[in-house]
Amino acid sequence: MAYSESVKRRKTREVGVGPLVIGGENPIWVQSMTATHTEDIEGTVSQIHELEEAGCELVRVTVPRLKALENVTTIRQKIGIPLICDIHFDYRMALGCLDESCEKIRINPGNIGGPDRYKQVVKKAKNQGIPMRIGVNAGSLERDLVEKYGWPCPEALVESALRHIETAESLGYDQMVVSLKSSHVPTALESYRLFSEQSDYPTHIGITEAGMVPYGITKSAVGLGAILLGGIGDTIRVSLLTERKSDEVDAAFDMLQATTRRVRKPEVIACPTCGRLEIDLQKVVTEVEERLKNQDLPLKISILGCIVNGPGEAREADIGIAAGRGKGVIFKKGEIIRHVEESEMVDALMDVIDNWDEETETGTAAPGDLLPVIQTPQ
Ligand code: SF4
């Protein structure tokens, strides 16, 4: 299969979640979950505001007890993004949430108390017009499927999801999003792949219990990157053990950016440096990254430290700097537009970025012309 074919996003059916639509050609929305007790309104709202500030678009809270259930509507009134209630074990909490102000519920039908209770939840979700995530998890798969397959393998996870979809559809309900989570990356990847071959329901993707930063981000990036590049995923959560919940949101957006599934900021391509380096590249790139923090133009900016790959990368980027001997050459859309000293490099680059719409200046020098400018004498 050609690379371009493998990265085409799979078209799923659309499911409305408050003001957002999940699936179809809509963006892959970034989701997170609070680590607070929902009994604590102030703490929960404060954490959701931190997530909102980072760009989170859907947030989930756990509703394990009556006291937490009582707070759902109050919490929703104090936040600006759709609220998802996450329920395990007690189907009455799911029924209760469907009477509160939330845009979606998430249940794991495998631990909600059996088929009859699951059906009660589905019927009420249908009546209330509330979508639901069928959250299948390798750690809490139905016993009969574990016995049938011997372990919570991808086939077992997919059979669980399809079984619950079939039951819901038999009751006339189809507002579902599906997740098939495992902390084992190959199992998660294969589960999403198998499911997507058999169903067009949108998927929420995640690698569950990925652990602490930085390994948790690396593990999630491996799994979610492969899933996204396989064309799968309509919402995403990076599950990290971190005190700064916004880490989850930042990591999710970075994964969407790196897979080109959703580009919402400039991407800086910088070389790792080596013995050929002749400028303080770390300083230059750090300053550029800092000054790009609020920039949302989806530009590809390449900053390389010498002429080995610098001109080639710079020509391929929207804007590029090929550096050497304390100088640099700035490229715009493949053409050289300026020669700059190292001390002016960041200002000159930012000048091009800040005037990107108006900028019409392009140079005419052939790429080979820059070699005498920045080449190191032997
Ligand atoms: Fe080294 Fe040049 Fe490559 Fe940077 S671009 S890593 S300085 S060879």
Q: What is the pLDDT of residues 261-318, one digit of tens each?
A: 999 899 999 999 999 898 999 999 999 999 998 898 999 999 998 888 888 888 889 9
Q: Contact at 8 Å (CB) between 145 and 162? A: no
Residue 263 exposure: Cα atoms within 13 Å on the Cβ side: 10
The Å distance, Cα 271 to ligand 1 centre, comes to: 6
CB 110 within 8 A of CB 178: no
What digits encode the pLDDT tens for the residues 204-253?
999 987 788 899 999 999 999 999 999 999 999 999 998 899 999 999 99
Count CB-CB contacts under 10 A for residue 369.
Answer: 13
- d(Cα 224, Cα 61) in Å, to the nearest integer? 22
Distance CA 270, CA 291 (A): 15
pTM (2 decimals)?
A: 0.89
Helix, strand or coil, per DSSP, at residue 276? coil
Domains of the chain plus CATH, in order, are: 15-258 (3.20.20.20), 267-374 (3.30.413.10)
Distance between CA atoms of residues 341 and 178, nearest Å: 54
Ligand 1 neighbours, Cβ below 6 Å, are 271-274, 276-277, 304-306, 308-310
**Structural tokens at position 378:** 């032997």
Q: pLDDT (tens digit, 9 = 90+) per residue, 50-82? A: 999 999 999 999 999 999 999 999 999 999 999
Task: Please give the distance, rounded to the nearest whole angstrom, from the Cα atom of residue 145 to the centre of ligand 1.
Answer: 53
Best of 280, 302, 304 for a ligand 1 pocket test (most atoms within 8 Å of beta carbon): 304
CA angle 19-23-26, nearest 5°?
65
Is the Cβ–Cβ distance between 204 and 179 less than 8 Å? yes
